[in-house]
Chains A and B, each alone.
Chain A
Amino acid sequence: MKYSKTLNHNPFFGSRHSVLIIVLGLFFIYPFIASNYYIDIAFFFGIYTLLGLSLNIVLGEVGLFDLGHAGFYAIGAYTTAILNTKFGIPILILIPVSALAAGLFAYIVCSPIIHLRGDYLCIVTIGMGEIVRLALINNPFDLTGGPNGVFGIDFPTLGGPFVIDSSIEYYFLIWIVVGLTIVGLIRLQNSRIGRAWNCIREDEVAAGTSGINVRFYKLLAFVIGAALAGVAGNIYASKLMCVSPESFTFWESCLMFCIVLIGGMGSIPGVIIGAGFISLFPEIFRPFAMYRMLVFGTVMILMMMFRPGGAWPRKREGVAFQSLVTRMREKDA
């Protein structure tokens, strides 16, 4: 049974390019027919996609449980906020700076904990995310503005006359960034780097004895993941024009985790579906806001029971959770 062969005969996948073109077309037309409110929903869909993609590197590709990803997101947002409000550096120039700051932070905090496995790493990353948030509340060096956060962040510019100041422009900014990220990540997936990540997820010891520097590639995943979260933080900060610690709670990390799990670990289309679910779901169920969490929790449980590989598992693997569940069932039997 060869999946690749059956796919080629499938008329839907045979015309994959035309599907892609239709989807891209809809993305272009959407902001011109939708109201600002719906464009903003699509913007946050984009933010969550970027965050999901960033966590997917750590959680999906390498299988490291990271429940403190909001910490990296916060570092990116605050770097942008502080450098922009204090020194007036244009937001778009701060995108790489935020990425670098978050990446560097990840490198420093993850170096000593990178050898931890599974749930141990998970606990430490939860602590890391919380420490970042608490540090921001405590207003170190009078930089972060304490619980109120930082106000008055500019619209994104490069310093010239071109300013991104409408919902439509923000929509295109985030989705262009997401698009470029996806292209880069697909290329990484199909390189020795991506394969090394997957090998570590599958079997750390065997990865080492196959010549893969386990420590280096785990750190690399954290640094790239954090840098992308930093980029998301930059765009988020300029969109809201203010940042405060309550945007970067443990709940945000959980949402990112859910995005990857719902979509399917290591699957890029899966992340988009997961992010869509997370960002559209609260809007659809706004009338029943009281029961939102109840429905959300139920959906998560049903997902894990009936579709543990995620909504759109990566064709090659994405079965990580599937195999975990099968193994557990075999143990029960």
Chain B
Amino acid sequence: MPDKNKTLLVNQKLTKLFGGLTAVNNFDLDVHQGKIFSLIGPNGAGKTTVFNVVTGIYTPEGGKVIFKGNDITGKKPHEIVSYGIARTFQNIRLFSNMTCLENIMSGQHCRATSGTWASIFRTSHQKKEEANIRTVAESRIRQVGLWDSRDELAKNIAYGSQRMLEIARALGTDPMLLILDEPSSGLNQKETESLMEFLTGLIKDEDITILLIEHDMNVVMGISDWVVVMDEGKKIAEGHPEDIYHNARVIEAYLGSEETR
């Protein structure tokens, strides 16, 4: 188990209901700093719902989300971003009709303060901030290797590039915790490998923690430090990737028992 003292995100007894359906049921999750955490489970297990609760898109019916010691339960998405949590989506949600660079620049929005009047009168503070936003965005777009596409509209770049752009936009918010919802879905073998390389490099070079949902077992087993398995809204197992790989209960939940297959 990773170092207990460096807990970054804690979910305590998280519960989320949709009408009569309990999507997430008393779910506990501790995420430790500087590691890659994977959340896996069959379709409909409630993984994305957990992400949506953590990032403020849903308000939970019960339980708490604590980030760096602050209770962020029920806060608005934009407030949660300013605490240092950034995310990507399962189905890519870019700002399609804006350029790639502008997409990343929008991530820096919450780190700047210039208001309407400052923007209209171009105060020196505003100019400095704009320059800074651009610098950060440019370094992020280089980092994901999309420098040449910086002036293209986001919708016009290749699918794999869009995935990377979305990650870059999340990184553009200067996050401490990066939440990725199926980052490798739709990517080919080569793209998946470079994504894995990118994520492990990120953990090494920056003070960032990664929490991801993933269906590609090669990715989960290849880069995770810790794996949490969900089924029907509950945590059914957690442990090191190799332990999870051989866990009978996980195999049953994930692949179905013998007769259903």
Most interface-central of A188, A196, A206 (chain B CB within 10 A): A206
Q: Digitize A194-235: 1 where CB-to-B-CB distance is under 8 Å, 0 elsewhere.
A: 111011001101111111111000001000100000000000
A186 nearest CB neighbor, chain B only: B120
Would A187 and B119 count as touching, CB distance under 8 A?
Answer: yes
Whether A237 sits at the interface, judged by CB under 8 Å, is: no
Chain B contacts with A in 91-132, Cβ cutoff 8 A: 93-99, 102, 105-112, 114-116, 119-120, 122, 126, 129-130
**Please, which residues of chain B bring their CB within 8 A of the CB of A193?**
114-116, 119
Would A224 and B116 count as touching, CB distance under 8 A?
Answer: yes
Q: Digitize A299-323: 1 where CB-to-B-CB distance is under 8 Å, 0 elsewhere.
A: 0000000000000000011111001
Would A199 and B119 count as touching, CB distance under 8 A?
Answer: no
Cα-based distance from A316 to B112 in the complex (angstroms):
23
- With A205-B57, A323-B96 in contact, is A210–B151 under 8 Å at CB? no
**Please, which residues of chain B bring their CB within 8 A of the CB of A194?**
119
Would B98 and A199 count as touching, CB distance under 8 A?
Answer: yes
Cα-based distance from A184 to B122 in the complex (angstroms):
10
Task: State which of B23-31, B77-85, B198-206, B208-216 sits at the interface with chain A.
Answer: B77-85
Whether B155 sits at the interface, judged by CB under 8 Å, is: yes
Would B155 and A192 count as touching, CB distance under 8 A?
Answer: no
Contacting B102 at CB < 8 Å: which of A4, A187, A195? A195
Contacting B106 at CB < 8 Å: which of A187, A199, A317? A199
Contacting B76 at CB < 8 Å: which of A191, A198, A208, A220? A208
Number of B residues, CB within 8 Å of A: 45
Most interface-central of A4, A205, A211, A214 (chain B CB within 10 A): A211
Nearest CB on B from A141, distance (A) = 33
Cα-based distance from A188 to B118 in the complex (angstroms):
9
Would A206 and B110 count as touching, CB distance under 8 A?
Answer: no
Whether B35 sits at the interface, judged by CB under 8 Å, is: no
Cα-based distance from A220 to B86 in the complex (angstroms):
25
Cα-based distance from A280 to B134 in the complex (angstroms):
42
Would A191 and B110 count as touching, CB distance under 8 A?
Answer: no
Cα-based distance from A194 to B133 in the complex (angstroms):
14
- With A199-B106, A212-B106 in contact, is A188–B120 under 8 Å at CB? yes
**Please, which residues of chain A bring their CB within 8 A of the CB of B116?**
188, 193, 220, 224
Nearest CB on A from B74, distance (A) = 14
Would B76 and A210 count as touching, CB distance under 8 A?
Answer: no
Would A316 and B97 count as touching, CB distance under 8 A?
Answer: yes
A188 nearest CB neighbor, chain B only: B119
Would A206 and B97 count as touching, CB distance under 8 A?
Answer: no
Cα-based distance from A92 to B133 in the complex (angstroms):
39
Chain B contacts with A in 125-158, Cβ cutoff 8 A: 126, 129-130, 133, 151-153, 155
Nearest CB on A from B154, distance (A) = 9
Would B82 and A211 count as touching, CB distance under 8 A?
Answer: yes
Would A208 and B109 count as touching, CB distance under 8 A?
Answer: no
**Please, which residues of chain B bring their CB within 8 A of the CB of A320?**
97
A195 nearest CB neighbor, chain B only: B106
Cα-based distance from A213 to B169 in the complex (angstroms):
16
Would B114 and A191 count as touching, CB distance under 8 A?
Answer: yes
Would A214 and B78 count as touching, CB distance under 8 A?
Answer: yes
Would A192 and B109 count as touching, CB distance under 8 A?
Answer: yes
Contacting A2 at CB < 8 Å: which of B120, B130, B151? B151
- With A191-B130, A192-B119 in contact, is A323–B97 under 8 Å at CB? yes
Would B114 and A192 count as touching, CB distance under 8 A?
Answer: yes
Task: List, sorted by A's number, 29 A–B pairs whose CB atoms are closer than 8 Å.
Answer: A3-B151, A187-B120, A188-B119, A191-B114, A192-B109, A192-B112, A192-B114, A192-B130, A193-B115, A195-B98, A195-B109, A205-B77, A206-B89, A208-B76, A209-B81, A210-B81, A210-B86, A210-B106, A210-B109, A210-B170, A211-B78, A211-B81, A211-B107, A211-B109, A211-B111, A212-B110, A213-B76, A213-B78, A318-B97
- Please name 8 further chain A to chain B contacts, defined as beta carbons within 8 Å, in addition to the given A192-B119, A198-B97, A208-B76, sorted by A numbering: A2-B151, A191-B114, A203-B95, A206-B94, A210-B107, A211-B78, A211-B173, A316-B153
Interchain residue pairs A-B with the least CB separation, the first 6: A211-B110, A191-B119, A211-B81, A208-B77, A202-B95, A317-B97
